[in-house]
Structure 1
Amino acid sequence: METTDAPIHQAPLHPGLPFFGNTLAFLRDPLGTLCTLQRNHDRIVHLRIGGRHQYLVFRPEDTKHILQENHRNYGRSPAFDVLKIFLGNGLLTSDGDFWRRQRRLAQPAFHRQKLAALAQTMVSETADWLDELNRQDLKKSVNVSQAFMDVTMRIVCKTLFGSDTIGKLDGLSGALDSLNYLANKRMLSPIRFPYTWPTPNNLRSKRARMQVDSFIYGLIDQRRQHHEAKDDLLGMLLSAEDEETGERMSNQQLRDECVTIFSAGHETTAVSMAWTIHLLTKHPDVLARLQAESQSVLGDARIPAPDAFRSLTYTLQVVQESLRLYPPAWILSRRAHNDDHIGSYTIPTGDTALLCPYLLHRDPLNWPDPERFDPDRFAPGGPKENLHSYAYLPFGGGPRLCIGNQFALMELQILLSMFVRSFNFKALANQRIIPKPLITLRPNQPIRVILS
């Protein structure tokens, strides 16, 4: 972040409607509104959304300033209050010293050597899922959005909780889907009734949360009572000890982290996989190259050795380019504790900074022909290596970089390579798929393909 002696100014205000400000424009078409703002403003723009003052920044260097260089001046924005109702006070929603302690405790569970031990589980679960998919009537179209939700649910359940939970997935999956749907609905609603009011949605979310809590607290109690030491993520979190105090996580903290990992760990990966398949149906040349690499590296083994996936360089490029076009975390928000300056402009105390990976990933100054799907952008020695480090951030950045980013990338490579090795696929005719920006960037409808 450069220093400046220029006078401090108010950021340019984007005109909106009386009383509503820019709220209705964002409710009608958030992505279109964001792209219009990017075209019309150079560095920062002041918006009024939902009765709050918010400042959207466009440049990678300013994004880095907020997320990394001056991150201690920023906390979770009011938007996270909605997520906290459903997820609790986990890594995604907590702040300050509590968040730093939780991050220290959880970090060892996501070290590379720990993730390598979980890769075998990912490969085995993917192989079982592909066998089940192959037994379906392939004359009918397949809802790959739901299919990937199913397999990522199985993978995160096995890696987080171990094999003894698979038979209980149906009820848990439905409860988590309900919580996710209701959180999206509450996030987008201009009118939010207090969570204590007995509205139909509040009652439904409480029932779903009770079901999730019963499942997870039951597992935690079982592990504690039987002193079970397992090498899954829950086992690692149970044994994690604060280096400074020697304390371990309480049952409440374990529950909140498990729900956060469970929710984020399957939904975002499944959505990313569905988007990737959608892109591949439009680019058969990329699919052919991907299949050739998968067959060459993995061979015909039903369950390839986990180490083999490290050689899938083009597969990783395809994943990275898909995440560029459709980043699950499409927008980020932070609340300023004190005044901050972006160049000669001020973000006042208590107001919100908006950071938008969706826009950063489509900035033509950094990504020529940004709407084009081109995995070679991420080839070794390719254009990506010469860009600002914050021109591409599908997992956020700074100290709050997603703790599960390597877990997700590994899972995406395994799923994609094994799927394209097993199947050819084509899109259904007349299926119009466009992004629907909810908490994550979902397709507007389930993506269906014909498998062969």
Structure 2
Amino acid sequence: MAASETSTPVHPGWPVVGNTLEFARNPLAMFTRLSQQYERVVRISIGGRKQFVALRPEDVKYVFQENNRNYVRSPAFMILKRFLGEGLLTSDGDFWRRQRRLAQPAFHRQKLAILAQTMVEEAVGWVDELAESVEAKPGAPVNMSQSLMDVTMQIVCKTLFGTEYAAVSGAGHIKGLSHSLETLNYLANQMLLTPVKVPRSWPTPSNVRFRKASALVDNLIYGFIATRRQTGESRDDLLDMLLHAVDEETGAVMSDKQLRDECVTLFTAGHETTAVSMAWTLSLLATHPDIQARVQAEVREKLGTDRVPGADAFRSLTYTLQVIQESLRLYPPAWAMSRMALADDQLGPHRVPAGATVLVSPYVLHHDPRHWEQPDRFDPDRFAAGREKERHPYAYLPFGGGPRLCIGNQFALMEMQILLGLLLRDFTLQRPEKLPVPQPLITLRPKTPLHLVMQRNTNWFS
């Protein structure tokens, strides 16, 4: 006979609020404690809702892959829908499957190869600007968190919007777009953690800011779409690929609203998430000079002294990619994921009732000593060829898993390889005075901006 819901251990909490306060205070510490105290599944209560935390990779695989049609985006995603709309990150069911079919060709390897050279050119310009800054103020710490936000914004705008971006970038509109999306991200996180939900129609300061930021985003992106439709020109950017995508099963194309939602989703994911991941990677390399030296040796050998290397050269940066993969293990940007069960189900002996949320924490899976030896140690050799056989495939999921594996995962990894390779070819990163502390918002950010002293390797090109 199937086990009843009462057989699932319940993590003790406070009356009425349950575990909400513990979660809001330090969710990473809370999830880590759950992993240490419970074997497989534990029930918690956040914001008045029952949540089932899955702690084993085999159960995560079941939810994300084997029985994925029974699990949809949880109610928490309704907050993200307020500004992302029905993009790939937030939509479900047949609509999501159709959108995925339409968008997938834009991320095929040959399409990404076209975008890679744009990334290289933007990254070269970024490194040149850093060189000027370092030479003007030698020994002064550089705010790398902001610098990375700027360059990833440039890259996602250029690869997504192409020439339309170039036409408006000088007017400050793109920075306004970036700032507005940052505001929406921040407000969405506030709403996510607030137990009492205020109606959207109320003129609270947060709702007013939300509407203002949303309007700016919509005006700019709908403007890009309208301009492209009017010109009818073919371009080598993501907007063009999405605009001309045709569903092979139905012959349908994306509406302006669907294009807007996918563009906002891609902009948000391709900008902030990559910048945050790069900041963690640089902080790890600055505190591990031996690993930094290995990366420098590889990039100098593979990239040579060409100021603008060909994009294909970056595919040979295997150790550099291992460093990025290990950084994503230690600091996964998507530190928590959730799904809602459509029908009653079982995770091993534990019953998950319809309507309940299943929570998964990649951060906890990535730090679990049952799957990773010395899990808190920075060791890129964990990702050397063949080592993946040593662990369960769902013990590592920085980009999710199953059919909803992040569509832009190869785009992000390629961008990070290019940025890291060109940066470390020119610079040596010195240990920061203070290591960043993780702040789990919608993404896992450094709590304070990362400032690094950077030494230019001026003899490299001489």
Q: Identify the residue that residue 34 of structure 1 maps to in structure 2.
A: 31
Q: Distance in 2 between matches of 1:428 and 1:402?
A: 32
Taking structure 2 as the reference length, the TM-score comes to 0.95
Q: Deviations over 1:187-244 (max 9, x none)?
A: 2222221111111111111111111111110111111111121121000000001112
1:393 to 397, 401, 404: 397
Query: Which residues in structure 2 correspond to 1:107-186 (within 5 Å)?
Result: 107-136=104-133, 137-166=137-166, 167=169, 168-186=173-191
Q: Distance in 1 between matches of 2:236 and 2:310?
A: 19
Q: Distance in 1 between matches of 2:365 and 2:219?
A: 41
Contact map agreement 1:426 1:451 (CA 8 A) in 2: yes
Q: Distance in 2 between matches of 1:439 and 1:251?
A: 27
Q: Identify the residue that residue 218 of structure 2 maps to in structure 1.
A: 213
Query: Residue 432 of structure 1: CA displacement?
Result: 4.2
2:413 to 388, 393, 409: 409
Q: Deviations over 1:292-339 (max 9, x none)?
A: 001011011111111111111100100000000000011100000011
Q: Deviations over 1:355-412 (max 9, x none)?
A: 1111111110110100000000001123x33211111000000110000000001001
Query: Residue 425 of structure 1: CA displacement?
Result: 1.6
Letter in 2 for 1:426: Q
Query: Residue 138 of structure 1: CA displacement?
Result: 3.5
Give the count of matched residue pairs: 446
1:303 to 308, 314, 334: 308
Contact map agreement 2:3 2:351 (CA 8 A) in 1: no
| DSSP 3-state at the match of 1:48 | strand
Q: Distance in 2 between matches of 1:257 and 1:381?
A: 35
Distance of aligned partners of 1:9 and 1:20 in 2 relative to their CA distance in 1, 3 Å threshold: closer
Identity %: 60
Q: Identify the residue that residue 460 of structure 2 maps to in structure 1.
A: none
Query: Which residues in structure 2 correspond to 1:63-82 (within 5 Å)?
Result: 63-82=60-79
Taking structure 1 as the reference length, the TM-score comes to 0.97
Structure 2 runs not aligned, ≥5 long: 456-462
Q: Distance in 1 between matches of 2:16 and 2:105?
A: 48
Q: Distance in 2 between matches of 1:42 and 1:148?
A: 39
Q: Deviations over 1:76-97 (max 9, x none)?
A: 1010000000111110011111
Query: Residue 22 of structure 1: CA displacement?
Result: 0.7
Q: Distance in 1 between matches of 2:452 and 2:389?
A: 34
Contact map agreement 2:283 2:432 (CA 8 A) in 1: no
Contact map agreement 1:427 1:448 (CA 8 A) in 2: no
| DSSP 3-state at the match of 1:349 | coil
Letter in 1 for 2:402: G
Q: Distance in 2 between matches of 1:313 and 1:63?
A: 28
2:57 to 32, 53, 60: 60
CA RMSD of aligned residues (A): 1.1
Q: Distance in 1 between matches of 2:63 and 2:246?
A: 30
Q: Distance in 1 between matches of 2:13 and 2:194?
A: 19
| DSSP 3-state at the match of 1:363 | coil
Q: Distance in 1 between matches of 2:186 and 2:336?
A: 18
Contact map agreement 2:340 2:357 (CA 8 A) in 1: yes
Q: Identify the residue that residue 371 of structure 1 maps to in structure 2.
A: 376
1:14 aligns with 2:19: no
Q: Distance in 2 between matches of 1:449 and 1:222?
A: 41
Q: Distance in 1 between matches of 2:187 and 2:11?
A: 31
Q: Distance in 2 between matches of 1:412 and 1:191?
A: 39
Q: Distance in 1 between matches of 2:243 and 2:347?
A: 42
1:103 to 90, 100, 105: 100
| DSSP 3-state at the match of 1:390 | helix
Letter in 2 for 1:359: V
